[in-house]
Chain A
């Protein structure tokens, strides 16, 4: 029922110069690794990227940065990346920082038909500059608007041929909201299965939000390996 791709370059072929894309993940966890690599290879330029972070210097969205494919980044924390800093200081990259919960809710709203909402996050800070602030029950809230995208690239541990997705542990993060907030959502899944093999009660993202799927092997690089010693 859904388009099943066999090549990553084919999966992203409709993403053009100037597209707005959402990319799932928190740090390097839950990023669609191979779709990002295919975007680097495609060399599409002037992208607006909406993602919580911007990868590291040699992996994830950091690869798109290094290749100067991103004009504008909308995220919440971008501190893991030296090239990011260089491009911002050189005026090559525009950045819009959002409180993380605001970013998540703007994306959720985008997929849920809610044009704007009020949140306490950012009231009295530079984030509220130029935005409507309104009082409810004696407390101030700032209005934030929904985010939508031309394409969302998400990563799931399992997907079926009807587009239903299941995520693994903290690799869920921004992926479900992004799947709903784009005109076209491509899911990179670790395992592609026939419709019917995922218990409907276990589906995290219903297939209606997903237009295409592709199976991809993940490297799952670890940013901060933290271990405990045997007791």
Chain B
């Protein structure tokens, strides 16, 4: 039980930090799972529009019981409402919008990220392959791709690697990684440590990251 609470708290910490990536006026796609949680922490004075790749620009709150419309879902197939000013369209239009780089930001989950910003988040060889859904398109679409994930896997091993071991979702696509321990930017010359979460040191982050991290003078400690 304690472990579950820890996990929930960790996810909330990541989601709250990821929320800070969303600027006023942004069009944003949130991936299924933990990224969807980011919507729960949007600051009240921030205006932004959430895109759902199944054909909705302007995801609203979850419905009240008497507002449920079975024809209105998000990409995770959950019932939603449409926000004021929303629009509906086909999946072809939706992905034209995505590939055409009209979205400002996409926040996705990750299994592994490499030093060069490769992302693996869709299949584990030997396990049932369920499909990539829209992730392979989205990683090439939004102007900024942020991956949120735990810093290490359940065995305590790094998920930020020299090279991904799992089959890729996209090559050189990630701009920023936000974990429960740190914020790391992917740049031309490699990975840069930008922020360290409360309770961790720069040394902790280096020790739990396989890929080489560049550590500048301006790393923000106890950032979130």
Q: Hey, which bits of chain A sit against chain B, CB under 8 A?
A: 26-30, 52, 75-80, 85, 88-89, 95, 97, 99-105, 107-108, 119-127, 157, 167-177, 220-228, 230
Contacts and interface: CB of A to CB of B under 8 A. Distances in A.
Contacts of B160: none
Would you list the 8 A-B pairs with minimal beta carbon distance, nearest first? A101-B95, A124-B171, A79-B130, A101-B137, A99-B136, A220-B70, A120-B140, A77-B131
B223 interface: no
B131 A125 contact: no
Interface of B: 52-56, 61-65, 68-73, 76-80, 82, 88-92, 94-96, 98-99, 118, 128-138, 140, 167-172
B79 A227 contact: yes
Contacts of B65: 227
Nearest to B123: A126
B170 A125 contact: yes
A169 B82 contact: yes
Contacts, number: 169
Given A26-B73, A108-B92, A224-B77, A75 B131 contact: yes
B54, B138, B167 pick with most chain A CB within 10 angstroms: B54
Nearest to A103: B91
23 contacts: A26-B55, A52-B91, A79-B131, A85-B128, A95-B129, A99-B132, A99-B133, A99-B136, A100-B134, A102-B136, A108-B92, A119-B140, A121-B136, A127-B132, A157-B71, A169-B56, A169-B88, A170-B52, A172-B89, A173-B90, A227-B62, A228-B61, A228-B62
Contact of A125 (B53, B71, B94, B169): B169
Contacts of A108: 92
Contacts of A123: 140, 170-171
B62 A97 contact: no
Contacts of B169: 125
Contacts of A225: 68, 78-79
Given A99-B137, A102-B137, A121-B140, A174 B90 contact: yes
Contact of A76 (B52, B69, B77, B134): B134
A175 B140 CA distance: 25
A100 B171 contact: no
A3 B220 CA distance: 68
Contact of A226 (B69, B80, B94, B171): B80
Contact of B68 (A107, A126, A127, A227): A227
A171 B65 CA distance: 20
Given A26-B73, A123-B170, A173-B55, 9 more contacts: A97-B131, A100-B132, A104-B91, A105-B96, A127-B132, A169-B82, A170-B55, A170-B56, A172-B55
